[in-house]
Amino acid sequence: MKTVAFHNLGCKVNDYETDIMQQNFKENGFLVVPFTQKADVYVINTCTVTNIADRKSRQMIHRAKKTNPEAVVIAVGCYVQTAGKEVLKDECIDIAIGNNKKADILNILNEYIKENRPASFGSIIDINQTSEYESMFLTHTADRTRAYIKIQDGCNQFCTYCLIPFARGRARSRDEESILKEIEGLTKEGYKEFVLTGIHVSSYGVSGTADFKDNKLADLLEAINKLPGVKRIRLSSLEPRVVTEEFAKRISKLEKLCPHFHLSLQSGCDETLKRMNRHYTSDEFLSGVKLLRKYFDDPAITTDIIAGFPGETEEEFEKCFDFAKEVSFYEMHIFKYSRRKGTVADKMPGQVKDEIKEQRSHRLITLRDELSKQYRARQIGKVKPVLFEEEITVNGKKYLTGHTPEYVKVAVEASDAAANEIFDVSVDDFLSDELMAGSLH
């Protein structure tokens, strides 16, 4: 039996697509082995969101070829899509496959072997010229409790720091019937929680410039909520502008939707947001947060913030810091601005020094930790349904851990619960900085 090894970099969309490729190889007689082992085929699903992601993608490609020089090394995904010329010159890559062709990976591999093709054979389409959603269908994943469901691809936003629209193309959506059928099949395999993911999830069902008035995303959520086998629904991220009064009111009626909303902020300063081409103001963002808090009981609001964007002055940073404090996020993912060749921001004046980025990032991380602890502390004394996932050991004692609908991690004594099951849990106290101790209710 031939062996194949996978390494995935990047976002949850990549996770989903790696699951699909792995599923396809298994169905065609391949044995999946760890990436560190010798294999006949290596598949590296690459990322290009930062310079570091590009470097990691190259490192994993070269590591695969070093592990087995005779193997077929297949590089797929976003780095391949945006660095086509460089990729085709890399002697460690036998097959290069861009986005919207991952479902064809077995056919491309078979053609490579049959035709005895030279290195860097593959398929990299002009992603910006396609309006077709690449058809994929998942029947199982490695995670038995939670499944990521890709509902959309591409992005029309063109933020000045981002290459993703050039890596993923324009926004395009998956057919609702296919999504529902995939979820129904996965519920029969034992999956209970479904995370809807995409490059720009809020663009689901929207073509052209998104105004989000005809909200197909809410329609989809309502349809999934009706499926009997589904226990939980999560959204991976939301565009702040999608959170209108109507949208918040509609989704608040869905008993299976988790009150955990990731609204990507990037900056709390309007001047910085404008240079980022983010299409909303801090007031509009805050309005969306207030609507979610109006219709949900203390929902978990999480976000991303970039520290040290070009032109960010001390005054602008203080506005961003104060805004993050005002919103009081449950979690913040803090990134130091990374220059990306080919973006508008790369050529902007006022590039911020690395040491200043470091200082600002550190302040935001400290604030994040404070706010996160405050949110977790508010859970103490509440009874929450927890979907249990894995066993851990803390100070020699075994616990089973899982997440509340708000994505707060809770641990109970291992003998009291079972993995892949939902139990009502009383949140009692902190077990560690990021883990709550609970007891079955």
Specify the pLDDT at position 126. 61
**Average pLDDT for consecutive 10-residue bins of the chain (441 residues)?**
92 92 94 95 94 93 95 93 85 90 90 70 64 80 83 93 91 94 94 95 74 76 97 95 95 98 97 97 97 98 98 98 98 94 95 98 98 98 96 92 98 89 96 94 90
Q: What angle do CA 177, 78, 30 make, to 5 degrees?
A: 70
Output the CA–CA distances (angstroms, integers) from residue 228 to 180, 218, 221, 231, 326, in the order listed.
Answer: 11, 18, 14, 8, 39
239 within 8 A of 202, measured Cβ to Cβ = yes
Q: State which amino acid sits at residue 188.
A: K
Residue 249 to residue 320: CA distance in whole angstroms: 29
What Rg value do the Cα atoms of the chain yield, rounded?
22
Domains of the chain, start order: 3-126 (3.40.50.12160), 146-377 (3.80.30.20), 383-440 (2.40.50.140)
Specify the pLDDT at position 122. 65
| CB half-sphere exposure, 388, CA atoms < 13 A | 23
Specify the pLDDT at position 89. 85
Considering only CA atoms, which of 214, 206, 149, 133 is closest in space to residue 181?
Answer: 149
Residue 8, beta-bridge partner list: 45
Specify the pLDDT at position 327. 98
Longest dimension (CA), the chain: 65
Residue 150 to residue 243: CA distance in whole angstroms: 21
Tokens of 246: 């109507």
Specify the pLDDT at position 84. 78
DSSP H helix total and E strand total for the chain: 13, 19
61-99 burial, b at 16+ Cβ within 10 Å, e below that, comes to bbbbbebbeebbbbbbbbbbbbbeeebeebebbbbbbbb
Specify the pLDDT at position 210. 46
Residue 109 to residue 94: CA distance in whole angstroms: 10
Output the CA–CA distances (angstroms, integers) from residue 57 to 51, 240, 244, 355, in the order listed.
Answer: 10, 31, 39, 26
- Please give the order of strands across the beta sheet that includes 146-150: 146-150, 193-197, 232-235
Specify the pLDDT at position 439. 95
